[in-house]
Amino acid sequence: MTKKGNKMKHNLIIMFVLYVTVSLFGYDKKEAENNIIPKKEITTSVLKEGKKAADFTLKTLDGKNVKLSDYKGKVVIIDFWATWCPPCRKGVPDLVDIQKEYKDNLVIIGISLDQQNTLKDLAPFIKNYGINYPVVLGTQQVVTDYGNIRSIPTSFVIDQSGNIVDTHVGLVQKSTYTNKINQLLKKS
């Protein structure tokens, strides 16, 4: 099989696994409308809490570099997501609100796992949802570095020293994030 064929096969497998995962851990529409965490949410340590977050340099759609270590001293939320993922779409407005509320002490970095067939949807999605934080294009390396992300959304809360202090797989209530952020800001 050619290199291009292998890459295409690899991308199809990743998309299939993510699709199945979202289907299995999806959300109930009524619960989502009431902003309640779905009963199927899994909170697990993809990476152990207390571990240093892996540094990365990833590109935005316009080619700018975003480097995690540039935000040392701030609380960081890393959100692995994609435009086609219903729970991801549901969580974005809360992340926009959180970024607005904590703009001086926090940065959210959205790591898009959209592939070639949905990448064209990313710029309109960012505009339509009013995303006010950096959105970068994920790579296989960053997926691996963060515990081989198997389900989206998956998010990590990183403290001001660069340590992972909270990990979530699935849709997360806004208050879960804000409680953790407030706790971290009181310590500093």
Selected catalytic residue, list 68, 82, 88, 106 = 88
Omega before residue 153 within 30° of 0, cis: yes
Instruction: Render the burial of 146-162: b for 16+ CB within 10 Å, e for the rest.
Output: bbebebbbbbbbbbbeb
Q: Is 169 exposed, middle or buried (0-12, 13-18, 19+ CB in 10 A)?
A: buried
- State residue 6's pLDDT score: 54
- State residue 2's pLDDT score: 61
**For the chain (length 188 residues), average pLDDT per consecutive 10?**
55 47 39 33 48 96 96 97 97 98 97 94 97 97 95 97 96 97 91
**What's the CA gap between 171 and 32, in Å, rounded?**
9
Known active-site residue 85: yes
Which domains can be identified in the chain, with CATH numbers?
Answer: 3-187 (3.40.30.10)
Residues contacting 161, CB < 8 A, separation 6+: 72
Selected catalytic residue, list 22, 76, 85, 149 = 85
- State residue 187's pLDDT score: 83
Q: Is 121 exposed, middle or buried (0-12, 13-18, 19+ CB in 10 A)?
A: middle
- State residue 37's pLDDT score: 32
Known active-site residue 88: yes
Task: Find, among 169, 180, 177, 172, the residue nearest to 46 by Cα.
Answer: 169
- State residue 4's pLDDT score: 57
- State residue 28's pLDDT score: 36
**What's the CA gap between 168 and 79, in Å, rounded?**
9
Task: Find, among 99, 119, 109, 132, the residue nearest to 55 by Cα.
Answer: 109
Please check whether residue 166 is in contact with residue 180, taking contact to mean a CB–CB distance below 8 angstroms.
yes
